C-alpha cells in the first residue's frame, strides 16, 4: 500500500488534524497534503490545520467549533463563550455578537479558523464548563467592551447575582474573575 493510500485510510470525516499529526502517517506530508486538498479529501482551515469534509444531506458540513479549537490549541483545556449568552442572563443585553471568545492557556489574539473568527484570550485558570455564575463574572469583566450602556446593565447584573448561589458565585470570582468583577461583586458576596 502506498504512503498516500495509508494516509487516506487514517482520515476520518469531520475530524480536524494538525500537519504534525498527519506527518506521522506520511513520508512526504506536504506533497500528500496538497494532493488531498486538490482531491477534496481535505480542507485547509488555517495554517497547519486541516479538516476532513463530512457530507450531510444538505452538503458539506463545517468542522465543529469545539473540535476545531481543540485541535488548533493542541489542548482540551479551554472555555468557549459566545457573548450572545449574556442575553440569557436577563440583565438588559440584547446585542448579537459573531466572534466567540476562547479562554485558554496557550494562545492570545484573533484567529480565523475555517472562515470564522475567534477571539483567543489567555487566562491562568479556565473553568471546565460554563455556568450561570461564570457567565455573570465574565459579563462583569467585559462590561466596558459591551455595546450596551454599562450604567443600565450593571444594576441588573448585580441584582441577578443576589439571586445566585453565593458559594458558586464566590468560586467563579475566585477561580475565573478579574479584579473588576471581584470589586463589583464584593458587596453582593459579603452582604449578610
pLDDT beyond 90 at 137: yes
pLDDT beyond 70 at 147: yes
Mean pLDDT, rounded, for 9-15: 91
What pLDDT, on a 0 to 100 scale, did the predictor assign at position 1? 58
Q: Are 32 and 38 in contact (CB under 8 A)?
A: no
Burial, 148: exposed, middle or buried (Cβ in 10 Å; 0-12, 13-18, 19+)?
middle
Q: How many CA atoms lie within 13 A of 155 on its CB side?
A: 3
Other Cβ atoms closer than 10 A to 88: 10
pLDDT digits (tens, 9 = 90+) for 155-182: 999 999 999 999 999 999 998 988 889 9
What pLDDT, on a 0 to 100 scale, did the predictor assign at position 56? 87
Q: Which of 10-24, 84-98, 116-130, 166-180 has the lowest mean pLDDT?
A: 84-98
Mean pLDDT, rounded, for 54-63: 86
For the chain, the residue count is 192
What pLDDT, on a 0 to 100 scale, did the predictor assign at position 17? 95
The DSSP secondary-structure symbol of 148 reads S
Which H/E stretch holds residue 81?
strand 79-81
What pLDDT, on a 0 to 100 scale, did the predictor assign at position 6? 85
What pLDDT, on a 0 to 100 scale, did the predictor assign at position 63? 84
- Residue % of the chain over a pLDDT of 70: 99
Q: Report the distance separating Cα 146 and Cα 132, nearest Å.
A: 18
What pLDDT, on a 0 to 100 scale, did the predictor assign at position 192? 56
Residue 103: CB partners within 8 Å, gap ≥ 6? 78, 79, 80, 81, 121, 122, 123, 126, 127, 176
Distance, C-alpha 110 to centroid of its chain = 11
Using the structure block, give the residue that is written with the C-alpha cell 482520515: 11
Residue 38: CB partners within 8 Å, gap ≥ 6? none
Closest CA to 42 of 21, 14, 70: 14
For residue 62, name the pLDDT band (cuts at 50, 70, 90): confident
pLDDT beyond 90 at 103: yes
pLDDT beyond 60 at 8: yes
For residue 74, name the pLDDT band (cuts at 50, 70, 90): very high
pLDDT beyond 90 at 95: no
For residue 27, name the pLDDT band (cuts at 50, 70, 90): confident
Q: Residue 80 corresponds to which cell in the numbers above? A: 468557549
Amino acid at each position: 500500500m502506498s504512503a498516500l493510500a495509508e494516509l487516506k485510510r487514517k482520515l476520518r470525516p469531520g475530524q480536524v488534524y494538525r500537519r504534525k499529526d498527519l506527518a506521522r502517517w506520511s513520508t512526504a506530508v506536504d506533497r500528500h497534503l496538497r494532493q488531498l486538498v486538490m482531491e477534496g479529501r481535505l480542507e485547509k482551515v488555517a495554517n497547519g490545520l486541516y479538516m476532513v469534509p463530512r457530507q450531510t444531506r444538505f452538503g458539506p458540513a463545517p468542522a465543529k467549533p469545539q473540535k476545531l479549537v481543540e485541535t488548533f490549541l493542541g489542548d482540551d483545556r479551554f472555555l468557549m463563550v459566545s457573548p450572545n449568552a449574556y442575553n440569557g442572563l436577563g440583565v438588559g443585553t440584547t446585542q448579537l455578537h459573531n466572534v466567540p471568545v476562547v479562554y485558554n492557556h496557550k494562545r492570545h489574539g484573533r484567529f480565523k479558523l475555517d472562515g470564522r473568527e475567534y477571539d483567543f484570550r489567555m487566562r491562568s485558570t479556565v473553568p471546565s464548563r460554563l455556568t450561570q455564575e461564570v457567565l455573570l463574572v465574565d459579563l462583569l469583566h467585559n462590561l466596558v467592551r459591551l455595546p450596551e450602556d454599562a450604567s443600565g446593565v450593571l444594576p441588573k447584573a448585580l441584582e441577578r447575582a443576589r439571586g445566585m448561589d453565593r458559594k458558586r458565585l464566590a468560586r467563579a470570582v475566585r477561580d475565573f474573575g478579574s479584579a473588576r468583577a471581584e470589586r463589583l461583586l464584593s458587596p453582593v458576596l459579603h452582604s449578610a
